[in-house]
Chains A and B, each alone.
Chain A
Amino acid sequence: MPTPVDELVVEVYAELRRLADAYVRRERAPSVQATELVHEAYLRLMKDKRQAWTNRAHFLAIAAISMRRLLVERARARGASKRGGARLQVTLDEALLQSSGPDVDVLALDRALTSLARLDPQQARIVELRFFGGQSVEEVAETLDISPATVKRHWTVAKAWLLRELRGGGDA
């Protein structure tokens, strides 16, 4: 059996950051295609851990991290360009985004998620995998090696907590 996904995900988190940063630094290519980044990360991981990475849950777990980062970069870049600043342009193939995409402030969600991670890392991961990785409850359960029922429970709390942070702001 492959190694639990989550261990591997943690292990490659730094690699993904490095990859994305490399794109940012590469001045001649100020724009990065999201799929390109995910694909490159995927290929690298495939090469290292051929056995462990070649399944859907693994892939989406990697993708979740990169997509979160990419969406945040994109949102920041939009804000920056409004103020005249130049930032890395993340181009997202619209097909990658859900057609009836949710109207969520990605930057605020990202910040709230980071706070939630301090409170409950697992809940934050579940949100990351579901929202940014498009994983189903079952897939999240496989990724984190917990039961689907547990995923659902955590998901309910995390959602309530995040929504409150986004709406009302501030600690309760």
Chain B
Amino acid sequence: MSSGDRPSSEWAEINELFHRALEQPPAGRAAFVRNAAGGRSAIVKEVLSLLSSHERAETFIEQAAVNADALMAAAGADPLVGQRLGHYQIRRLLGEGGMGIVYLADDTRLGREVALKAVRAQFADDPARRARLEREAQAAAALTHPGIATVYALEEFDGRLFIASEYVAGETLRTELGRGPLSGTRLLETAIGIAQPLAAAHARGLVHRDLKPENVIRTPEGAIKILDFGLARLQDRQSHDQAITTEGTLLGTPAYMSPEQIRAADLDFRSDLFSFGIVVYELATGVNPFTGGDPASTIARILEVEPARLADRVPVSSANTAGLGALTRVVTTCLQKDRNARYRSTRELEAALDAARGASVPMLPSKPTTWWWQFHQGLASLAYFLLLIPLAVARTWVPGPLAVAILVAGLVAALVAGTLRLHLWFTVRKYPDEWRTQRDRTALWIRVADLVFAAALAASAFTLLPSHIEMALVLIGAAVVVVLAFAVMEPATERAAFGQ
């Protein structure tokens, strides 16, 4: 309870006296209480009453009404949580995967948090499997890389096996995918974040075998960590290499398996490359290219179907992402059914991703150099809108259908050119790596609108020439400035800002 409803001081005193009296020999308690309470009969009476009750209260409510373990089991709560196993204090459930239940535990000996995975019983019982499990845990423990959650130890408590590994806070890519696909730099950096530790492990001859969004975590600091490296065989499939049991029924999801994994062939790093391709495909598009329907049809697709090109499946919003073409080629190479057609090493994959990053490197070297360009875009937009005022005035001075046409043309042109420039300006400020795509999309429209606007200014000037020579000169001057601005000044600021 909160400290707001504190018991009365009288009750506190009764408690105090009660406990002190209990320290006395039974025969002397009554005298002790009368003495200590100093004549306050209400308190004396209450304490004595409690003491007498206490003598009869030995078994009273000592036996709980409910069986806590049975209750937890019935409610689906895990009885291991809160318990202590050896030097591990189990704090809470982290998740339940194919491998078994994963707990967050405190390693009280080393004072660190660990992920404690309960290995399914069948592994502990069969000596051959167990020996293999120990070898694999050893191999996994030998692997240290900042992008891989380190395996610490294989432990046994009460005949149950547990794997203690580095606890990685953060959320899995599966959770992230729940909010929609990734795009742009984030997508590419995530792919690279997975490829790097993968390459390091592959260089040591370790294969993950179960790469999927659930096994990749992004830490709160933004780093990528792969979980369960080399531990996939501990899964509840008989052997992870075999997706299909002898009865022909499927265990677990095949959604990220390579064709050779489904065919139960010997696996090497190239199987991980295939899974990597699926993961990146899903990160970019939000969908796994092979799943749909039941596991059997997923298997059929993995074996038979060429997925649509990545670039054709990404959401419209990221369709213009720079580097998407290169990433599409990477994914296509990884998803080759024939593993010989995939990358010859994971370093090669890494290099291809780095190249994709090179293609997507933002065209903005640094902020200061874009300043003039930004200034120009802002000022030009403003000037266009302001120049609509003399155009409108001109129409009232020399009315007629021609003046209306000129005003409308000028208005439309100013709106198009001004708005698109502001759009580019915003893009540079908020999404710098998309600037070039946006520039390419809008360049023609801006150019046409500029020309129409200059023409409208000039035409208006000619209609004013006979009657309002000063205004005509101003408008001609403005037209010339508009032309100079987009033909000479804008390219200069653009070159200064973005190179080329």
B1, A35: Cβ atoms closer than 8 Å: no
Contact of B50 among A2, A93, A109, A157 (CB under 8 A): A157
Contact of B71 among A38, A100, A153 (CB under 8 A): A38
Contact of A131 among B15, B61, B93 (CB under 8 A): B61
**Interface membership of A10, Cβ < 8 A:** yes
**Interface membership of B466, Cβ < 8 A:** no
Q: CA of A127 to CA of B65 in the docked complex: distance in angstroms? A: 11
The stretch among B74-82, B236-244, B311-319 that forms the contact with chain A is B74-82
Known: A55-B81, A122-B1. A164 touches B50 (CB 8 A): yes
How many contacts A-B (CB < 8 Å)?
155
> Which chain A residues border B49 with CB–CB below 8 Å?
164, 172
Range, interface on chain B: 35 or more
Contact of A159 among B57, B69, B75 (CB under 8 A): B57
**Interface membership of B304, Cβ < 8 A:** no
**Interface membership of B441, Cβ < 8 A:** no
> Which chain B residues border A85 with CB–CB below 8 Å?
none
Q: CA of A109 to CA of B67 in the docked complex: distance in angstroms? A: 18
Q: CA of A161 to CA of B47 in the docked complex: distance in angstroms? A: 10
B74, A96: Cβ atoms closer than 8 Å: yes
> Which chain B residues border A135 with CB–CB below 8 Å?
64, 68
- Which parts of A114-172 form the interface with B (CB within 8 Å)? 119-122, 125, 127, 130-135, 139, 153, 156-157, 159-164, 167, 172
Contact of A130 among B2, B22, B64, B77 (CB under 8 A): B64
> Which chain A residues border B91 with CB–CB below 8 Å?
55
Shortest distance from the beta carbon of B288 to any chain A beta carbon, whole Å: 25
> Which chain A residues border B62 with CB–CB below 8 Å?
102, 159
B66, A67: Cβ atoms closer than 8 Å: yes
**Interface membership of A59, Cβ < 8 A:** yes
> Which chain B residues border A18 with CB–CB below 8 Å?
none
Q: How many residues from A make CB contacts under 8 Å with B?
A: 55
Q: CA of A133 to CA of B68 in the docked complex: distance in angstroms? A: 7
> Which chain B residues border A97 with CB–CB below 8 Å?
65-67
A56, B61: Cβ atoms closer than 8 Å: no
**Interface membership of A60, Cβ < 8 A:** yes
**Interface membership of B72, Cβ < 8 A:** yes
- Nearest opposing residue in chain B for A35, CB measure: B74
Contact of A96 among B11, B61, B71, B92 (CB under 8 A): B71
Q: CA of A134 to CA of B67 in the docked complex: distance in angstroms? A: 6
Shortest distance from the beta carbon of A20 to any chain B beta carbon, whole Å: 15
- What per-residue 1/0 map shows which CB atoms of A1-33 lie under 8 Å from chain B? 010001100100000000000000000000000
**Interface membership of A71, Cβ < 8 A:** yes
Shortest distance from the beta carbon of B112 to any chain A beta carbon, whole Å: 14
- Nearest opposing residue in chain B for A166, CB measure: B60
- Which parts of B16-54 form the interface with A (CB within 8 Å)? 18-19, 22, 45-46, 49-54
Known: A59-B72, A159-B54. A172 touches B45 (CB 8 A): yes
Q: CA of A167 to CA of B50 in the docked complex: distance in angstroms? A: 12
Give 11 CB contacts A-B under 8 Å. Answer: A56-B77, A101-B63, A102-B63, A102-B65, A121-B5, A130-B64, A134-B67, A160-B18, A164-B49, A167-B56, A172-B46
Task: Other than A59-B81, A132-B64, A164-B49, give 18 A-B pairs with Cβ distance below 8 A.
Answer: A38-B74, A39-B75, A59-B77, A93-B70, A95-B74, A96-B74, A98-B64, A98-B65, A98-B67, A102-B63, A121-B7, A125-B1, A134-B64, A134-B67, A139-B82, A157-B19, A162-B61, A172-B45
- Which residues of A line the B interface, CB within 8 A? 2, 6-7, 10, 35, 38-39, 42-43, 51, 54-57, 59-60, 63, 67, 71, 93, 95-102, 104, 106, 109, 119-122, 125, 127, 130-135, 139, 153, 156-157, 159-164, 167, 172
